[in-house]
């Protein structure tokens, strides 16, 4: 590992990936401190909070008490200090964002926000308090060192993980560029079977633990109760009308927050041919359905831009590969900056840009994160942002397209 021995804070979830990350750093001679972020899963009770910021608490879990216990067992096996940190108050911001976005008819990605705001945000401040110079995680992505023109170390660059099927660079795009050099991703150059093999060799008790597949605060992948808890007006409003593109009423739905753009199954309407949710109107509590072709977008407007490369690489109109789903493909596109987004944004970033897809893409929805990769080095992340609007193929172009 290129990093000289230093003190590293490792975000340990109790899973095999972060456990191996901690083990590799320990084996490389770093002073490793493990921490488990207790976020406040539904149905669990936290100890009383005693002040601002994270505080040490007992055996608690992120999604379950068992996860914290697993992380503690791993830390004991590695002989490293271990803390469980109460991030419930901070994580409430992520849950509020998730519910607010759905209530507004958008499609959120809470995992990106959690990495941006907590794992490499609030946790970074905690690392400074204990004298740790770097933060590590078990994400499948790579940090590649860079050099400035004078030979001094640069910010570093974010690249896809070697295991393309597990790659998580998409959910890390929001980390500010100035923080990249302090981020360590020990398993990004490995494939999953190798990680499990290392876990067994290190004697870690989680070597066979299954991967988590759900959003940590959404039990059973049922979003609606979480949203309605923060927006009870949605439950009171109940169902609404399902419309076609011409505004004709075709049926009724359970409430617009139960559906996402591009959804096909579970709409509760049979017309004899495949139909998809192609639009949502929260103000009227209506869904619009249509054919698959009605989902296609030729261009999207993007706000809250976060660039991980210098401005020279994104000057004027530039080629890129654009990915707008965490497990989707990156497709050829052109992008250009458009200035500043209007109004307040969740992250405080105001930069904006546009993406024109080489071929129209389905189900590009407001609220989604879109991440741009370098077509000449397809694993390198250029930056990304959050879709504010998607337009049909042949729609009007925003400006400016230069500089």
Per-residue pLDDT of 240-269, as tens digits, reads 999 999 999 999 999 999 999 999 998 988
Give the pLDDT confidence score for residue 298 in this predicted structure. 96
Angle (CA) 115 362 347, round 5°: 25
**Is 287 within 8 Å of 240 (Cβ atoms)?**
yes
Name the DSSP letter for residue 51: S
**Is 39 within 8 Å of 158 (Cβ atoms)?**
no
Coil, strand or helix at 332: strand
Per CATH, the number for 238-290 is: 2.30.30.280
CA distance 56 to 382: 37
CA distance 222 to 139: 25
**Is 227 within 8 Å of 103 (Cβ atoms)?**
yes
Strands (DSSP E) found in 59-182: 82-86, 134-136, 141-144, 157-160
**Residue spans per domain, the chain:** 7-201, 238-290, 294-391
The residues carrying an active-site annotation are 114, 216
Count CB atoms within 10 A of the CB of residue 366: 20
Angle (CA) 269 361 365, round 5°: 60
**Is 287 within 8 Å of 373 (Cβ atoms)?**
no
Coil, strand or helix at 9: strand
Give the pLDDT confidence score for residue 223 in this predicted structure. 87
**Is 8 within 8 Å of 184 (Cβ atoms)?**
yes
Q: What is the pTM of this model?
A: 0.90
- CATH for 7-201 (3.40.50.620, 3.30.1360.120, 3.60.20.10, 3.50.50.60): 3.40.50.620
Give the pLDDT confidence score for residue 222 in this predicted structure. 80
Residues of the chain with pLDDT under 70: 1-2, 40-65, 213-214, 219, 341-344, 348, 394-403
Return all residues near 271 (Cβ < 8 A) that are at least 6 apart: 250
Nearest CA to 317 out of 358, 353, 266 is that of 353
Give the pLDDT confidence score for residue 403 in this predicted structure. 40
- CATH for 294-391 (3.40.50.720, 3.40.50.1820, 2.40.30.10, 2.20.25.90): 2.40.30.10
CA distance 202 to 172: 27
């Amino acid at each position: 590992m290129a990093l000289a021995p230093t003190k590293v804070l490792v975000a340990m979830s109790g899973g095999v990936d972060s456990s191996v990350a901690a083990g590799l750093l320990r084996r490389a001679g770093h002073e490793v401190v493990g921490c488990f972020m207790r976020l406040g899963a539904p149905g669990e009770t936290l100890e009383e909070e005693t002040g601002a910021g994270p505080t040490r608490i007992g055996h608690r879990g992120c999604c379950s008490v068992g996860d914290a216990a697993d992380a503690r067992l791993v830390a004991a096996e590695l002989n490293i200090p271990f803390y469980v940190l109460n991030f419930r108050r901070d994580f409430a911001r992520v849950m509020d964002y998730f519910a607010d976005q759905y209530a507004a008819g958008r499609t959120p990605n809470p995992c990106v926000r959690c990495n941006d705001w907590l794992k490499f945000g609030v946790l970074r401040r905690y690392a400074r308090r204990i004298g740790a110079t770097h933060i590590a995680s078990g994400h499948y992505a790579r940090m590649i060192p860079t050099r400035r023109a004078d030979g001094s170390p640069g910010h570093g660059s974010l690249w896809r993980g070697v295991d393309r099927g597990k790659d998580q660079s998409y959910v890390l795009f929001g980390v500010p560029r100035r923080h990249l050099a302090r981020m360590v991703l020990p398993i990004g150059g490995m494939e999953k079977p190798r990680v499990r093999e290392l876990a067994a060799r290190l004697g870690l008790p989680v070597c066979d633990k299954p991967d988590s597949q759900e959003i940590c605060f959404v039990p059973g992948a049922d979003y609606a109760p979480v949203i309605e808890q923060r927006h009870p007006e949605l439950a009171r409003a109940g169902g609404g009308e399902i419309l076609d593109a011409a505004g004709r009423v075709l049926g009724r739905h359970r409430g617009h927050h139960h559906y996402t753009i591009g959804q096909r199954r579970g709409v509760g309407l049979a017309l004899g041919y495949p139909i998809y949710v192609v639009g949502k109107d929260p103000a009227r509590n209506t869904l619009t359905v249509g054919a698959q072709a009605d989902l296609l977008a030729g261009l999207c407007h993007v706000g809250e831009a976060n660039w991980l490369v210098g401005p020279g690489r994104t000057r004027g109109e530039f080629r890129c590969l654009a990915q707008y789903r965490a497990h989707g493909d990156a497709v050829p596109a052109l992008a250009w900056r458009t200035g500043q987004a209007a109004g307040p944004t969740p992250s405080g970033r105001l930069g904006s840009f546009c993406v024109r897809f080489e071929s129209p893409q389905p189900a590009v929805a407001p609220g989604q994160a879109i991440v741009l990769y370098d077509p000449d080095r397809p694993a390198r992340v250029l930056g990304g942002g959050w879709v504010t609007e998607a337009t049909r193929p042949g729609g009007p172009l925003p400006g400016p397209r230069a500089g």
